Amino acid sequence: MLPGIGLFGTGHVVRVIVPFLREKGFKIEAVWGRTLSEAAEVADALDIPFHTSRIDDVLLRKDVDLIFIMCSPNLHAQIAVKALGIGKHVVCDKPAGLSQYEALKMVRAAQYYPSLISIVNHSLRFLPAFVRMKKFLDEGYLRGPVTVIDVRVQMGSLLHDGYDWLCNDTMGGGILALVGSHVIDLIFHLVGQRAIRVHAVVRTFTRTTKFINGIRHISSPDFCSFQLELSGGALVTATLSNHLPGQLNQEVLVCGGGDHLVVRGGDLYGFREEGMNNGGKEEILYLDVDDIKEQSPPVTDSIPLPYVKGLRKLIGALREAFQPVEDKKGWIKEPVSSAATFDDGLYVQAVIDALRQSNRRREWIKVCVLTEEPDPNPLLSAAVRATAISI
């Protein structure tokens, strides 16, 4: 039996995700919105039986066993930790909280309840082109070790017509948190190397729009360029830009030993120097199947198609996880194996924190993944330790 779902959030992604969930047989039992009217509107539009603006009203429902956290990032950690604490499975939208500190709290909660599913919605891992790219990499398509990974994402604005958290850097808005987190996770997933040292330029060029031009201005970045030195010696360069309205160009290029694999949009191409196959041209390894447009969900411009497609596949994998072997609670404990864990979410946060610091300090920054919560009162702790010694 599939678990009942409690949804947090009322944004575009919720309207995309509900039809996908229903397509796979999940029942949506409740939806939470920041305001009651927002919640009511979504519940009405998507035919969800219960809506509320109180977090606990969703979490404590008996018919809800799987929580989808799709609201603003400042609430991710709070809801995820609480949900796991009362024995509910969690799928959390990226990023995992606003900071490493929040991500660490989520990791701790997930460690406490290993039988519960706790995954971060890094949906690009599930895009068929990247699934195949990883397979080719694992099978040694490239003759040499990975040297350079070049990522480019060009898209339009991430903002809505009104002012909301997307406009605010500290609330988790902006291209670094929203797209960069996907890129950082994807690279780790593809090549299994983590970033050691990083450099970034992060910019907010657009501070006002037609709709946001009063006292409030936009602080979330619309451009970033970063470089990562990976543990295995590879170098990543990424350029993410919101300055190309009306289109999404996404390209992930992995080079090694004169060969390369590249995903453009949803298609995978490969090139091997050795045989100079295809007369020195790239070979087509996978062409995307346009199976989303036939679907009923109103896919909006605000969520690029590769992310939507990946999300649909992720939900498919989630269904599988709840199906085959049944334990006493009615589903298996094994998490969706290739999904991003909260641990992965913590790593991504650590890299994003380092990138932000690099941008401020204008130098390369070492990535430090938090393993302990920072001491809230270091002076007091030092005094206590000193007393203990003197006694």
Torsion of CA 163, 169, 173, 177, to 10 degrees: 170
Task: Report the alpha-carbon distance of residue 127 to residue 109 in Å, rounded.
Answer: 28
Query: Measured from the CB of residue 263, what is the shortest distance to its own copies in angstroms?
Result: 15
Q: Is 359 helix (H, G, I), strand (E, B) or coil?
A: helix
Residue 246 interacts with its own copies (CB under 8 A): yes or no: yes
Of the pair 174, 345, the CB lying nearest its own copies is at 174
The phi-psi region of residue 339 (left if phi > 0; otherwise alpha if psi is between -120 and 50; otherwise beta) is beta
Residue 22 interacts with its own copies (CB under 8 A): yes or no: no
Residue 356 interacts with its own copies (CB under 8 A): yes or no: no
Residue 74 interacts with its own copies (CB under 8 A): yes or no: no
How many residues touch its own copies (CB under 8 A)?
A: 34
Residue 213 interacts with its own copies (CB under 8 A): yes or no: no
| CB 152, CB 244: distance < 8 Å | no
Please identify which residue in 115, 247, 300, 381 interacts with its own copies, judged by CB under 8 A: 247
Please identify which residue in 2, 40, 235, 332 interacts with its own copies, judged by CB under 8 A: 235
Residue 302 interacts with its own copies (CB under 8 A): yes or no: no
Of the pair 48, 146, the CB lying nearest its own copies is at 146
Task: Report the alpha-carbon distance of residue 230 to residue 101 in Å, rounded.
Answer: 23
Of the pair 131, 235, the CB lying nearest its own copies is at 235
**Sequence-ordered list of residues with C-beta below 8 angstroms from that of 75, at least 6 positions apart, any chain:** 8, 55, 69
β-pairing, 89-93 with 118-121?
parallel
Residue 147 interacts with its own copies (CB under 8 A): yes or no: yes
Residue 248 interacts with its own copies (CB under 8 A): yes or no: no
Beta bridge partners of 154: 241, 249
Of the pair 273, 290, the CB lying nearest its own copies is at 273
Residue 281 interacts with its own copies (CB under 8 A): yes or no: yes
Using the contact rule CB under 8 A, the part of the chain among 114-122, 171-179, 329-337, 356-364 near its own copies is 356-364
Alpha-carbon separation of residue 303 from 203, 290, 327 (angstroms): 21, 16, 36
